[in-house]
Structure 1
Amino acid sequence: MSSTTAGPHILAYPYPDSGHIIPLLDLIHRLLARGLTVTVLINPDNLPLLHPLLSIHPSSIQPLVLSAPEVHDPPRKTRVAKVRAMSELYYPILLQWFRSHPSPPVAIISDYFLGWTHHLACELGVRRLVFSPSGAFGFSVLSSVWRDLPKPIDPNDMGSPISFPKIPHSPDFPWRQISRHYRNGKEGDPDWELFRSDMLDDIASWGIVFNSFAELERVYLQHLRAELGHDRVWAVGPLLPPEDSLIGLAKRGGSSSLPCHEVMTWLGARHDNSVVYVCFGSRTSLTRKQMDVLVDALEHSRVQFILCVGVGRGRHVGDDVGAIPEGFEDRVEGRGLVIKGWAPQVAILRHRAVGAFLTHCGWNSVLEGLDAGVVMLTWPMGADQFTNAKLLVEQLGVGIRAGEDMENIPESTELSRLLAESVNATRPERVRVKKLSDAALGAIKGGSSDKDLDELVKRLAAR
């Protein structure tokens, strides 16, 4: 659906990280096509990510460019320091901006890390929508943690189970897989209290928009509507560009060591479903042990593969960082392709030659894998990735468990076997993921996600 009539004006505020910005921009693209006017709060460094939308919808979208606040906290506190600094700097600026605007937004849609915008919206008398770049299952677990404050029987036992009986399927996780921000703090600690208040503010906000779709997480969407006591929970995903989109598949993040066309040419010479794509996201650096196991398994599996080695801004930086061993690329030449930096992941996964995806199970990667209909080998590293891996393997049956962080690093021979089996045409996971891929496409082609988005626009237009 598209419209030339000016619809409601909203302010979109992504958390300043590409994994959070990109899916929100994909949502904005769909809102603009439905006639909305959008102002996007963005930092100068991330402004290039907005350029494709500015070229497609020049009269309907406007950037609000604000310099990022300076943050000097240690890396493990980067997120809480960023959130606190943004709140302190932007709150008064946004108050003034709204009050002086000739046609101010009727709503704020902001990332779920930015719970403080709920109070801003309340002060301004507008609605605040939470945008969750994670799924409804992950959000259910995280909100339950911060609301109910579960504790292990033995806090020194990192394997002690934490159960969630109120959530469908009564999932449980070892204590080590619960949010480290929750585990490592305590009530009264300013950082811990900020994380909790952000989560509680998300729950209290007017509505929540998920980058998900009904066929994927129906039971958890229904659970959240019951828990929140209202129906303002929308699943509008998967938020990905169509293959012929002007937004483009090659430039959705950072720079790469290989141009997209070279990667596509390499894939074009491979048989259907024969290649394993390996990527652990843009924020995770593998440790030496993890990397050694991975490259040894890739070398001895004999499968064709693309290995993306990210920029590694994650928790292992400056600590115990693995590297591609000397001579590895020569030994796998013709069978393996190594990309250093950002990879055109959506384009790679959608290529007919790719049959499996070894992933850290970040939600964007999960959706991109499901959209492409590839079998997923799961190796979660932190955050909601453990929840996402459980969804893929235990509930949907489209994933194969390969490892878990540092606690369950597979033997290289076992990982080699799993890599080889993942491209087997007879695996049952392949049949199931193809069905989910079809459901994902149907959801955004007039199905549940389109209907949810139309309903959201209708509610925003109702003053």
Structure 2
Amino acid sequence: MSGAKKHILMISIPAYGHTIPLLELAKKMAHYHKVTFVVSEFLLEGLHRRHLLTDNPTITILSLPDGYHEEPHENALSVQVFSRILQCGIPSAEKLFSTIIPFSGNKNGHSLVSEPVNLVILDNMIAASAKALHNRGIPYCLFNSMSSTLVLQTLQVHADTQVSEEPIKEMLPFTDALPLSALYKALFLQIHEATLLTAGIIINTAYELERGIIDAIRSHPDMKGVPVYCIGPLMPVSKAETGHESIVKWLDGKKDKSVIYVAFGSIATPKPEDIRELWKALVKTEQPFLWALAKKEQHHLSEEILQKMSRQFEDDENSRCLILDWSPQKLILQHPATAVFISHCGWNSAIEGLATGVPVVAWPMSADQRPNAIELVRSGLGVLLEDTGYFSEKTVDAQDIYTALNEVADFARRGVLTKYQLAGLVWRNRLDDITSANGSAEKDFQHLVTG
């Protein structure tokens, strides 16, 4: 993409965990090229409300009517939900791709995109739609918002790969014999096939974080001639002046390394009985805590708690607890008051914990979250709560949560860093180096925008 400015079209799936990192990549690329960012109609209002969309004149935001919607009270990480995301995302992307204008070519019907496109960057979950681009001679890159393990797993899958007869509850760490459900096999085959024709693989990771896996990807026979760009971590820019002043003021009023931050991403939510046990543990610590809990899940808390929430920004005893339906995660993790992060360990949260140096109490729910959590524990950045998630029949005990929080943060020894907090400082400094002007992530990004 060297020379004059190009027009890059970028598209994700209707899921915040995939859309937000791709949007951050769009903001970076807009310094070099004109970018059209296509977002699911379902997510558009939420991105505006979270102050994540940009006023950059070199980025055009387009809303795609893909037909996706949430069903109330459903298991958000169920196979049915994931299937519906793909069923909405792939056909709508194919329809769009069949009408966009190649950089040199004639327009084919009505299109949301009015200008010729040099390159498309699409989420690898909708890789099946890339055939429409290849057939029209439009180059594309696949964007992987998850750990690079997923990319390596897709390269292992072939038509004769066996399908597990048992339900696969979550992705497993890389193994030579990978058990797959029929759904995941079909998806991984689509990604593998699209990889053979792609102009590059873009991964939201840093080479130093997953060195062995990245090396295995780059040396795979099917990756010959395919560049791999490790340009992460891609973290949303959150500033106090973008509508989060009250949260910053609340954090500013707390002592350094005193706040427990709880967030399970935009999809994952513990079971109702786990929510109540978590509340007990948080109260028992006698520490201030900030909990991002979706509105549709807040009714699992007691009426007394819900009444206190209406006064939680007031300067009294109620201000020790702050419960929000969404929170600016990077802003909170970077604040000196934050001591520990209770996280589901989705990939975005995992690398944000590393990049900000905040140790975690890992509470994986499903998908790739358990292997991510295991890697954080191996990195010295936290502890893992056992037998958690949608498929566990166990209720997580308040005492276990309380014990884990005290092991990681040791609130009784204020001013003395725990081994987990010291490890966090090491990782924060490493990620600062990786993302600096001379770091590997920035070098890969420069190769992407100029190559």
Q: TM-score, normalised by structure 1?
A: 0.78
In 2, Cα distance between the equivalents of 1:297 and 1:43?
37
2:346 match:
362
User: Does residue 206 of structure 2 align to residue 222 of structure 1?
Assistant: no
1:454 match:
446
1:10 match:
8
2:110 match:
none
Does structure 2 conserve the Cα–Cα contact (< 8 Å) formed by 1:135 and 1:211? yes
Greater Cα shift, 376-385 or 292-301: 292-301
User: Does residue 98 of structure 2 align to residue 95 of structure 1?
Assistant: yes
**Deviation of residue 158 (structure 1)?**
8.0
In 2, Cα distance between the equivalents of 1:249 and 1:149?
50
1:55 match:
55
Q: Which letter maps to 1:109?
A: I
In 2, Cα distance between the equivalents of 1:147 and 1:275?
50
Query: Which of 267, 277, 286 lines up with 2:270 in the alignment?
Result: 286
Query: Which of 307, 310, 318 lines up with 2:291 in the alignment?
Result: 307
Does structure 2 conserve the Cα–Cα contact (< 8 Å) formed by 1:136 and 1:221? yes
User: How has the CA–CA distance of structure 1 residues 335 and 207 changed in structure 2, closer, same or farther, with 3 Å as cutoff?
Assistant: same
1:228-377 correspondence runs (5 A): 228-230=222-224, 232-241=227-236, 248=239, 260-311=244-295, 323-328=300-305, 333-334=317-318, 336-377=320-361
2:202 match:
209
User: Does residue 434 of structure 2 align to residue 443 of structure 1?
Assistant: yes
In 1, Cα distance between the equivalents of 2:273 and 2:155?
33
User: Does residue 389 of structure 2 align to residue 422 of structure 1?
Assistant: no
> 1:219-258: CA deviations, max 9, x gaps?
2211211224335111111112456xxxx4686xxxxxxx
Q: Which letter maps to 2:301?
A: I
Q: Which letter maps to 2:149?
A: F
1:36 match:
33
> 1:37-66: CA deviations, max 9, x gaps?
21222344544647876522x1x2233443
**Deviation of residue 162 (structure 1)?**
7.0
In 1, Cα distance between the equivalents of 2:330 and 2:418?
23
In 1, Cα distance between the equivalents of 2:96 and 2:232?
32
In 2, Cα distance between the equivalents of 1:87 and 1:200?
16
1:256 match:
none
**Deviation of residue 110 (structure 1)?**
0.5
Does structure 1 conserve the Cα–Cα contact (< 8 Å) formed by 2:172 and 2:368? no
Does structure 2 conserve the Cα–Cα contact (< 8 Å) formed by 1:287 and 1:322? no
2:86 match:
83
**Deviation of residue 148 (structure 1)?**
7.6
In 1, Cα distance between the equivalents of 2:168 and 2:128?
34
**Deviation of residue 335 (structure 1)?**
6.7
In 2, Cα distance between the equivalents of 1:233 and 1:123?
23
Structure 2: gaps (5+ residues): 108-112, 411-415
User: How has the CA–CA distance of structure 1 residues 29 and 290 changed in structure 2, closer, same or farther, with 3 Å as cutoff?
Assistant: same
Does structure 1 conserve the Cα–Cα contact (< 8 Å) formed by 2:149 and 2:173? no
**Deviation of residue 366 (structure 1)?**
1.4
Greater Cα shift, 293-302 or 63-72: 63-72
Q: Which letter maps to 2:223?
A: G
**Deviation of residue 353 (structure 1)?**
0.5
Q: Secondary structure at the match of 1:40?
A: strand
User: How has the CA–CA distance of structure 1 residues 42 and 391 changed in structure 2, closer, same or farther, with 3 Å as cutoff?
Assistant: same
Does structure 2 conserve the Cα–Cα contact (< 8 Å) formed by 1:250 and 1:347? no
User: How has the CA–CA distance of structure 1 residues 273 and 9 changed in structure 2, closer, same or farther, with 3 Å as cutoff?
Assistant: same
In 1, Cα distance between the equivalents of 2:290 and 2:235?
21
Does structure 2 conserve the Cα–Cα contact (< 8 Å) formed by 1:110 and 1:130? yes
**Deviation of residue 116 (structure 1)?**
1.7
**Deviation of residue 364 (structure 1)?**
1.5
Structure 1: gaps (5+ residues): 173-177, 252-258
Does structure 1 conserve the Cα–Cα contact (< 8 Å) formed by 2:340 and 2:358? yes
Q: Secondary structure at the match of 2:100?
A: helix
Q: Secondary structure at the match of 1:55?
A: coil
In 2, Cα distance between the equivalents of 1:350 and 1:93?
38
Q: TM-score, normalised by structure 2?
A: 0.80
Q: Secondary structure at the match of 2:265?
A: coil
Does structure 1 conserve the Cα–Cα contact (< 8 Å) formed by 2:131 and 2:194? no
User: Does residue 443 of structure 2 align to residue 431 of structure 1?
Assistant: no
User: How has the CA–CA distance of structure 1 residues 18 and 165 changed in structure 2, closer, same or farther, with 3 Å as cutoff?
Assistant: closer
Q: Secondary structure at the match of 2:30?
A: helix
Does structure 2 conserve the Cα–Cα contact (< 8 Å) formed by 1:80 and 1:195? no
User: Does residue 148 of structure 2 align to residue 136 of structure 1?
Assistant: yes
> 1:376-425: CA deviations, max 9, x gaps?
1100001111121121112x221211243153654221211111232234
Does structure 1 conserve the Cα–Cα contact (< 8 Å) formed by 2:203 and 2:229? yes
2:364 match:
380
